[in-house]
Structure 1
């Protein structure tokens, strides 16, 4: 897998296909494998040049101790964009990947042709989502960890998740790996590595991406939010406050549409991508 060094951090990436540039941005604790596993890369490659990469601290990329805010990640992308010689790209970001995509559009709009969000929560809009800390996907995670005797707490706390995973005994880690299966195993094994960084706190930092900055973004945005998402208020806010925002609900999904409803998510992405490309 090829690599490029940006901001002193080694990032691993993959490219496939030919055509207008599309870049896929994974969520915090995830990596680029999620896009391959979901089949989205294969679905888009006939019509687009698709770039995926492991963001700092994730997958095979370097793991610096600090620098995990959306502002730093956006700067990482700016340098990656230049190093790979990409044209203005449509950024497709899941969860925190969407925050990075929007921050890039705000700070470095020349790199961005449009942004497709997949169920993203924005720290700068936390006033819109008062129940963010008790989102259902965190409850599912908490219940699973409780099966091996680990308490994660009632509200979202990435730093605690990383610390608790790092302190697991070999037997408890094996028990969790058996629960999560082959795909989840890779996700689980990278959590202890993030305990050595500021990632847990950084990803919940506004980092300059305020409500006003979001509302001032002039790039076209597609807000794909899941039917059972904890962030539907955010979806409505984006639709009402961004000048060029289109929203769509992905049925039968609650935060992982690319896996919960692969066909529906892929269809929506392809439709909106074709529309965005036609506009440029």
Structure 2
């Protein structure tokens, strides 16, 4: 049997090393090997770059992130800089964007300490100034007071009254002039209902979410509101932000507002998603809404809270996700009582069915298979009246489908948005 001098372990390690660090650095390292450190390089190439980096359990991009976090935590700044450069300039399949690198440093700050993060940002910015033009990234002056919080966005209120509290998240991508999506929440909720969906949509869109009057941090005028008033609130929000025409995504009450807005102000709505909603209630149900107003006026929101949660979430979800349901319950009972009653009147008197044919914007109607508050039949009515509207029924979803089935909800929206281009 002949002896094969080809060292497979070493060669596999070198391939990984070149993919992660780049040919130039590896060639320079090999060229600088001496009789003193060659055995060490051989060991590291076999052990770290083959034995570890060849393991299939994690993607190589994930291993990059781990190395960056550990070298920053330990203050191994020469190694850290090496891997920052490699992460930004390396193989496209394992590369990190500057924003992804920033997230690594911010998360490491929490677990390894702010001093390490301070130094890490200093080293990373030095490299970004040097190689930024190569990767299309430019460090620019920015105001600390205007820095946005991912997961919450930049928050503000409208100048016009009643003041509406809103959050704006800019698109993460670099597409020129991205379109804006407005997210409109359900009765007894607030803009935080959309947090997960909003972060998902910012991959390609600017995203605005807001609190309806009477909810969250928006003004709560003492009155019984109409759906027309809520739609005019939406119109002045879009006008004030100068972001129209927008893609409107509304759930329950938010879907009712979207219908009215698209009818009254067609130039402001380029596409419409109506989820878990209705275009009108039968007289018996309208009477139930008026009774709810009287009950809340006499006894407060707490007395209806459990019944509302039973309609918002099906039994299986309530049992498996008690913490999430409890958070929505807390939001409901802390809603301004006058504002809640005002919006109950708007919801209970919604009446757009006979006008839906006026909507010319592309529309998607989403229903929850188990929805008691807005049964599938109501969504079918909406879809049948809006020309060309699509209908998607999400299995195992009740009224707050975006919370119970977030992946299915996001997929339905993503497919619809893709059909618009």
Shorter-chain TM-score range = 0.7 to 0.9
Q: 1:72 to 1:155 in 2, by over 3 A?
A: closer
Match of 1:158 among 292, 302, 315: 292
Match of 2:236 in 1: 79
Match of 2:384 in 1: 240
CA distance in 2, matches of 1:49, 1:198: 30
Query: Are positions 1:210 and 2:352 aligned together?
Result: yes
Contact 1:40 1:266 in 2 (8 A): yes
Match of 1:30 among 189, 198, 207: 189
Which structure is higher in strand share? 1
Match of 1:255 among 399, 408, 416: 399
> What secondary structure, in the 3-state scheme, does the structure 2 residue paired with 1:203 have?
helix
Query: Are positions 1:3 and 2:157 aligned together?
Result: yes
Deviations 1:215-248, CA, capped at 9 Å, x for gaps: 2221111001011123211222223222120001
CA distance in 1, matches of 2:396, 2:363: 22
> What secondary structure, in the 3-state scheme, does the structure 2 residue paired with 1:182 have?
helix
TM-score (norm 1): 0.77
Which structure is higher in helix share? 2
CA distance in 1, matches of 2:358, 2:344: 28
For residues 105-124 of structure 1, the aligned pairs below 5 Å read 105-123=262-280
Deviations 1:134-186, CA, capped at 9 Å, x for gaps: xxxxxxxxxxxxxxxxxxxx9554314533552869xxxxxxx9995234312
Match of 2:364 among 222, 227, 230: 222
Q: RMSD across aligned C-alpha pairs, in angstroms?
A: 2.7
Q: 1:178 to 1:93 in 2, by over 3 A?
A: closer
Give the C-alpha shift of residue 107 in structure 1: 0.3
Per chain length, whose mean CA-contact separation is higher, i.e. which structure has more relative contact order (CA < 8 Å, sep 6+)?
Answer: 1
Contact 1:221 1:245 in 2 (8 A): yes
CA distance in 1, matches of 2:331, 2:269: 30
CA distance in 2, matches of 1:190, 1:14: 18
> What secondary structure, in the 3-state scheme, does the structure 1 residue paired with 2:228 have?
helix
Match of 1:199 among 317, 329, 343: 343
Structure 2: tracts of 5 or more residues without a match:
1-154, 172-177, 304-321
Contact 2:278 2:382 in 1 (8 A): no
Contact 2:221 2:339 in 1 (8 A): no
Deviations 1:83-104, CA, capped at 9 Å, x for gaps: 1010311100000110100100
> What secondary structure, in the 3-state scheme, does the structure 2 residue paired with 1:190 have?
coil
Name the stretch that deviates more: 26-35 or 236-245: 236-245
CA distance in 2, matches of 1:182, 1:241: 36
Q: 1:233 to 1:14 in 2, by over 3 A?
A: same
Give the C-alpha shift of residue 65 in structure 1: 1.3
CA distance in 2, matches of 1:35, 1:187: 15
Task: Tell me the number of residue pairs that the alignment of Structure 1 and Structure 2 aligns.
Answer: 241
TM-score (norm 2): 0.53
